[in-house]
Amino acid sequence: MISSAAGGNLELNAPNSPGYQFLQARALILIENKIGLVAVLPIGMAQVSSVVLSVKEGDTVKKGQEIAFFQLGGSDVVTVMVFQKDAKVDLKEWKSSPVPGKPGLCEEFTKVGTKIGTATPFQAPSHKG
């Protein structure tokens, strides 16, 4: 059972019977850049069951560079991005839709390369002592 953003509970039904085994593979990539720290969490759900990292600790990555991929065998891929507290990220261009019958949940199907937002450089707070 999981909690929805609206505070209600949703029952998840994932049978554990022959022919329907799966693993929910996850990865964590922290990227330090001009907008601050960004955590990217690719999750291979259900039949996807894989996350393959294309980068390793200490690598320098460029905009648009592959950092991980899924070895698709089914459906359900989730990528979560978490931004540093004071990051100036505007996701107004991300058009998510409410999930019918699931109050508080939204979903988005986005094609690779689609702009979902903009970010401006991060300025660390000054500490005057």
What does the alpha-carbon distance between residue 119 and residue 104 come to, in Å, rounded to a whole number?
Answer: 26
Q: Does a structural domain hold residue 128?
A: no
Q: Does a structural domain hold residue 111?
A: yes
Q: Does a structural domain hold residue 112?
A: yes
24-36 residue pLDDT tens: 778 888 888 888 8
Domain range for 99 = 29-120
Say how many domains are in the chain.
1
For the chain, the 3-state helix, strand and coil shares in percent, each to the nearest 5, are: 0, 30, 70
56-95 residue pLDDT tens: 999 999 888 888 888 775 555 667 778 888 888 887 777 7
pTM strictly above 0.75: no
Task: Evaluate whether 54 touches 68 at the Cβ level (below 8 Å).
Answer: yes
Q: Does a structural domain hold residue 18?
A: no
